[in-house]
Amino acid sequence: MTATATLSSKFQISIPKSVREERHWEAGQEFVFVPKAAGVLLIPVPELGQLAGIAKGADPADYRDRQDRF
C-alpha cells in the first residue's frame, strides 16, 4: 500500500483513510514519533490492558535490580 499526505501550514498531517482502516486507528488515539534515519516511525501508544502478558516467558536472569544502583 502506498499513500501520501501533505504537511499543512499548521504542521498537521491527515492520515489517509486506507491506512487508518488497515491499522484500525481511531480518532483520539495517542501516537509516539520515533526518529529513524531520514524519517520517523509513527507508532500507536498501547493501552495498559494491551500490555498484559507482554513479558510472559521472559527470563529474569541477569536483570538489574535496585541494589546495584548508586
Cβ proximity of 31 and 23 under 8 Å: no
Is residue 70 pLDDT above 70, yes or no? Answer: no
Q: Quick one: pLDDT at residue 1?
A: 59
- Say if CB 33 and CB 41 are below 8 A apart: yes
pLDDT band at 68 (very low <50, low <70, confident <90, very high): low
How much is the pLDDT for 49? 86
Q: Give the residues across from 43 on adjacent strands.
A: 32
Q: pLDDT of 1-27, one tens digit each?
A: 588 999 999 999 999 999 999 999 999
Taking the whole predicted model, whether its pTM rises above 0.75 is answered as no
